[in-house]
């Protein structure tokens, strides 16, 4: 038999396959070597930078210290780290980027107040920056000319000069709260939410919120609370995107973690509310009208009009009501503090009228109690959004690189034994000059509840004004006590049982809210009815609902 020779074509194809496999293998090896080289160089960068920065736990490549974050309340963990390293300032790596946490009052004041010209910007943020309103919102905006425009416009609504003009409506809305609590004290939280939301709604949109069933209460405050729950450092979605920003670049069809993110439309719910108020010829003067009037002058986009009006509402409603819920918890947990407040209120005010703003100078103990509420369990527990320096800064020999995420840990600041001995005890006397626990503090107020420097909450004056009159009136009107069980025994309250979000408030608890005497009850009824009549000019309803005014892709 004659054997057949192999065809040259199959042999050539076979050789090409071998060469291709060798080429692919070499390519894979090259990519692997390149990746390892990049990893080593990047990790060397992290370790060299770590040597120059404030102390903190040792970071790992790529993931940094993210995996060490607790599932809940990371501010407690950072307080513990500050004690462990015996330093008011620590470094914690979120992925490949360092974050700096300020855990005592002096450090926060030195950097965020005294160096405000440097530390007033924002770092790059993925979740509440890139995936939200980005540079169209004052909350996340980098420091610069546009920031100053937005700040100026916000002061036009709630600046120091405007706030005193809101005293009457704050006073009337608060009188309505007292009146509502006479017949429905069990739902005190909802009444606080209605009050706080109504005040900012009148300011922002010229329309009050007269019912606890108003959609602003049932929908918008819920939305604000949900956003706050997600806006804390974490090792789960969505905040895991800050550790691995590349995950935010994936298309939604292949990234289930992105399914809840939608690029906000310019004309969203808050724009609709603002436009409705601004174009209503029969409506009251309000912040939204001023914004639309100033829009052309400052070339405001639709999304900027939305964020300016919406941020005012978001910052002033949930936070103010949460402060009042904390006040009620403090009354239940530390009833001994109420006796001095009642004595002062009875002496200065009496039962035939409620306290007013003119009484403030004479209500020394009540003012101290208000300050202690703001200190004891501050709502913005990590000081709001992070700061970032616009240039490299050196503090006590440590480097804080440009654009670093810098966060003030208000929880740790307000629980530092140096300024606040026995910090978990609610003690108004620490704010009296002759108080046994009175200590020096870096600022005049004695707390850092509203932030620092040029990023301090623009609604601070409005919030402090409203908190004073609310607490003074509640103290004057009611005895606030622990609830009773079926056997008539007091039900204990837990002063640490708080929510986990950026803005904290006590988890639901029951209490007893009863008028202090019949004369005060009659005064509450008389003033409450009159306040409802005076506020009637702001009555009205919006046609928009957040559940139906959906933002689409």
Q: For 382-417, how does the pLDDT look when each residue is reduced to its tens digit (9 = 90+)? A: 999 999 999 999 999 999 999 999 999 999 999 999
Each residue's pLDDT tens digit, 3-39: 444 455 675 666 566 556 667 878 788 888 888 999 9
Q: How far is CA 230 from CA 131, 379, 471, in A?
A: 13, 15, 30
Report yes or no on 548 lying in a domain. no
* Per-residue pLDDT, 25: 78
Length of the chain: 553
Write out the residue range of the structural domain in which residue 40 sits: 10-52
Res 12: pLDDT: 63
Task: Determine what percent of the chain is predicted with pLDDT higher than 90.
Answer: 78
SS3 of 51, please? helix
Predicted local confidence at residue 203, as pLDDT: 95
Residues 92 and 47 occupy one common structural domain: no
- E-state strands within 95-224: 97-102
457 is in an annotated binding site: yes
Strands 97-102 and 405-408, sheet pairing: parallel
Per-chain mean pLDDT for the chain: 92
Candidate from 250-264, 337-351, 397-411 with smallest mean pLDDT: 250-264
pLDDT tens per residue across span 75-120 = 999 999 999 999 999 999 999 999 999 999 999 999 999 999 999 9
Q: What are phi and psi of 387, to 5 degrees?
A: -90, 170
No. of helices (H) and no. of strands (E), the chain: 18, 7
Q: How confident is the model at residue 435 (pLDDT cuts 50, 70, 90)?
A: confident
**CATH code, 269:** 1.10.630.10
Q: Are residues 29 and 116 in the same domain?
A: no
Q: Return the pLDDT at 313.
A: 78
Residue 534's contacts (CB-CB under 8 Å, 6 or more residues apart) are: 168, 172
Residues 320 and 423 in one domain: yes
Regarding whether 160 and 47 lie in a shared domain, the answer is: no
CB proximity list for 442: less than 8 A, separation 6 or greater = 105, 106, 108, 109, 113
Instruction: Tell me, yes or no, whether 37 and 78 share the same domain.
Output: no
Query: Considering its fold, how many domains does the chain have in total?
Result: 2
In this structure, are 46 and 71 located in the same domain?
no
Confidence of residue 551 (pLDDT cuts 50, 70, 90): very low
Q: Is the pLDDT of residue 437 over 90?
A: no
Residues 39 and 153 in one domain: no
Question: Prior bond to 238 cis, omega within 30?
Answer: yes
Neighbours of 120 (CB within 10 A): 22
Is 350 inside any structural domain? Answer: yes
The DSSP code for 3 is P
In a domain, 546, yes or no: no
Q: What is the pTM of this model?
A: 0.93
Same domain, yes or no: 355 and 269: yes
Considering the domain architecture, whether residues 279 and 240 belong to the same structural domain is answered as yes
550 is a domain residue: no
DSSP state, residue 538: G
Residue 2: its pLDDT value, please? 43
Q: Is the pLDDT of residue 375 over 80?
A: yes
Report if residue 387 sits inside a domain. Answer: yes
Least confident residue range of 104-113, 261-270, 432-441, 511-520: 261-270
Proportion of the chain above pLDDT 70, given as a percent: 95
Q: Is the per-residue pLDDT at 1 higher than 90?
A: no
Q: Which is nearest to 198 in space by CA: 220, 179, 217?
A: 217
Dump the DSSP string for 257-321. GGTT--PPPSS-HHHHHHHHHHT-TTSPP-HHHHHHHHHHHHT--HHHHHHHHHHHHHHHSHHHH
For residue 549 the two structure tokens come to: 């005014």
């Amino acid at each position: 038999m004659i054997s057949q020779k192999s065809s040259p074509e199959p042999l050539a194809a076979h050789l090409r396959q071998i060469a291709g496999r060798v080429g692919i293998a070499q390519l894979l090896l090259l990519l692997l070597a390149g990746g390892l080289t990049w990893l080593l160089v990047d990790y060397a960068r992290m370790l060299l930078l770590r040597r120059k920065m404030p102390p903190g736990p040792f970071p790992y490549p790529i993931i940094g210290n993210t995996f060490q974050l607790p599932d809940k309340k990371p501010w407690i963990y950072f307080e513990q780290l500050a004690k462990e390293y015996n330093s008011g300032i620590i470094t914690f790596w979120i992925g490949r980027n360092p974050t700096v946490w300020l855990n005592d009052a002096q450090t926060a004041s030195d950097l965020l107040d005294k160096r405000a010209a440097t530390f007033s910007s924002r770092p790059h943020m993925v979740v509440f920056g890139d995936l939200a309103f980005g540079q169209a919102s004052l909350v996340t905006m980098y420091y610069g000319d546009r920031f100053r425009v937005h700040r100026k416009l916000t002061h036009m609504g709630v600046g120091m000069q405007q706030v005193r003009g809101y005293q009457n409506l704050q006073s009337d809305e608060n009188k309505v709260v007292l009146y509502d609590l006479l017949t429905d004290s069990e739902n005190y939280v909802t009444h606080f939410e209605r009050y706080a939301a109504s005040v900012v709604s009148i300011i922002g949109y010229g329309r009050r919120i007269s019912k606890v069933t108003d959609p602003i209460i049932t929908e918008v405050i819920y939305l604000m609370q949900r956003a706050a729950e997600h806006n804390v450092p974490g090792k789960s979605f969505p905040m895991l995107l800050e550790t691995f920003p590349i995950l935010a670049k994936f298309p939604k069809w292949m990234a289930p973690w992105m399914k809840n993110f939608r690029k906000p439309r310019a004309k969203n719910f808050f724009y609709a509310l603002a436009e409705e108020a601004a174009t209503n010829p029969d409506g009251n003067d309000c912040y939204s009208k001023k914004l639309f009037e100033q829009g052309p002058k400052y070339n405001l986009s639709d999304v900027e009009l939305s964020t300016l009006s919406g941020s005012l509402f978001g910052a002033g409603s949930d936070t103010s009501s949460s402060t009042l819920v904390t006040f009620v918890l403090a009354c239940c947990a530390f009833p001994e503090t109420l006796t001095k407040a009642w004595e002062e209120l009875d002496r200065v005010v009496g039962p035939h009228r409620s306290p007013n703003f003119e009484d403030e100078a004479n209500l020394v103990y009540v003012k101290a109690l208000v300050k202690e509420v703001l200190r004891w369990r501050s709502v913005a527990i990590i000081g709001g959004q992070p700061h970032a320096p616009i240039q490299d800064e050196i503090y006590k020999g440590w480097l804080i690189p440009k654009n670093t995420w810098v966060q003030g840990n208000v929880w740790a600041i307000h629980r530092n034994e140096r300024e606040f001995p026995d910090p978990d005890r609610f003690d108004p006397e620490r704010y009296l000059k002759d108080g046994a626990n009175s200590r020096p503090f870096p600022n005049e107020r004695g707390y850092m509840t509203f932030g620092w420097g040029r990023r301090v909450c623009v609604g601070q004056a409005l919030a402090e004004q409203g908190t004073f009159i609310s607490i003074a009136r509640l103290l004057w009107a009611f005895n606030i006590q622990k609830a009773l069980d079926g056997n008539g025994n007091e039900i204990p309250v837990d002063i640490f049982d708080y929510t986990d979000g950026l803005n904290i408030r006590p988890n639901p608890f029951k209490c007893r809210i009863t008028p202090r005497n019949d004369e005060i009850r009659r005064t509450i009824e008389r003033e409450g009815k009159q306040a409802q009549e005076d506020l009637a000019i702001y009555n009205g309803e919006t046609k928009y609902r957040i559940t139906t005014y959906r933002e689409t892709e």
